[in-house]
Chains A and B, each alone.
Chain A
Amino acid sequence: GNSVTQMEGPVTLSEEAFLTINCTYTATGYPSLFWYVQYPGEGLQLLLKATKADDKGSNKGFEATYRKETTSFHLEKGSVQVSDSAVYFCALNDYKLSFGAGTTVTVRA
């Protein structure tokens, strides 16, 4: 079946550091790929998505590119802020979402 493997945390960074969270997937067909973010005390929010190979999703300075050849969808941000502290989930959508384990990111001032 479909599955997502995500880099486990926790990850602790200083402000303005570069963030990468690795995500790889196993799927039949070509599902859409998503990154969701969960801020403390809140629900899951869509951060960005890509619906086909080579698509790049971007939002709030975060980017991820759908790489079919490596079955990956790594999340990157060039300069993190304290407000980026959250749990990040990679997911694929084949009419239901299959999530990775989540990566807790803490950004220190």
Chain B
Amino acid sequence: EPEVTQTPSHQVTQMGQEVILRCVPISNHLYFYWYRQILGQKVEFLVSFYNNEISEKSEIFDDQFSVERPDGSNFTLKIRSTKLEDSAMYFCASSEELAGHNEQFFGPGTRLTVL
């Protein structure tokens, strides 16, 4: 069964460093998303992406964040200069369509720890 994959499973970095989180969405999906979950808090939407453009982004997704689909399979989230408060689980998701009734398929997540 097709699945969304994410690498690495755990990333430890120093404050101020750049990190890139990688995702491989399901191959025939067209819409891609990043969410994050700070320990003990809700899963929060960060950004959605379609046709090589950001479709929507949340207040959290500031200038420190960027997304890219560098090739036909990968979808990346870059944090330019990490802060302690960026420590969280980051989930990638994809869906076939944008329609509200469509299921988003999630990857297993990357746990980011900023020291």
- Complex interface: chain A residues within 8 A of B42 (CB): 99-102
Question: Which one of B91, B101, B106 contacts A32 once the chains associate, using CB atoms below 8 Å?
Answer: B101
User: How large, as a class, is the contact surface on chain B?
Assistant: 20 to 34
Question: Which one of B41, B48, B56, B109 contacts A43 once the chains associate, using CB atoms below 8 Å?
Answer: B109
Judged by a CB distance under 8 angstroms, whether A77 is at the interface is no
- Complex interface: chain A residues within 8 A of B55 (CB): 95
Judged by a CB distance under 8 angstroms, whether B70 is at the interface is no
Chain B, 26-55, contact with A by CB distance < 8 Å: what is the 0/1 string?
000000010100000111110010000001
Judged by a CB distance under 8 angstroms, whether B104 is at the interface is yes
- Complex interface: chain A residues within 8 A of B48 (CB): 95-96
Judged by a CB distance under 8 angstroms, whether A51 is at the interface is yes
Are the C-beta atoms of B41 and A101 separated by less than 8 Å? yes
- Complex interface: chain A residues within 8 A of B43 (CB): 44, 89, 91, 97, 99, 102
Complex Cα gap A91–B103 (Å)? 11
User: What are 30 A-B contacts with C-beta separation under 8 Å?
Assistant: A32-B100, A34-B103, A36-B106, A41-B108, A43-B91, A43-B107, A43-B108, A43-B109, A44-B43, A46-B105, A49-B101, A49-B103, A51-B100, A51-B101, A89-B43, A91-B43, A93-B100, A93-B101, A95-B48, A95-B99, A97-B35, A97-B43, A97-B93, A98-B45, A99-B35, A99-B42, A99-B43, A101-B41, A102-B42, A102-B43
Which residues of A approach B to under 8 Å, CB–CB? 31-32, 34, 36, 41-46, 49, 51, 89, 91, 93-102
Other 5 A-B pairs with CB < 8 A, given A46-B105, A97-B33: A44-B106, A93-B104, A96-B33, A96-B45, A96-B56
Which residues of B approach A to under 8 Å, CB–CB? 4, 6, 33, 35, 41-45, 48, 55-56, 91, 93, 98-109
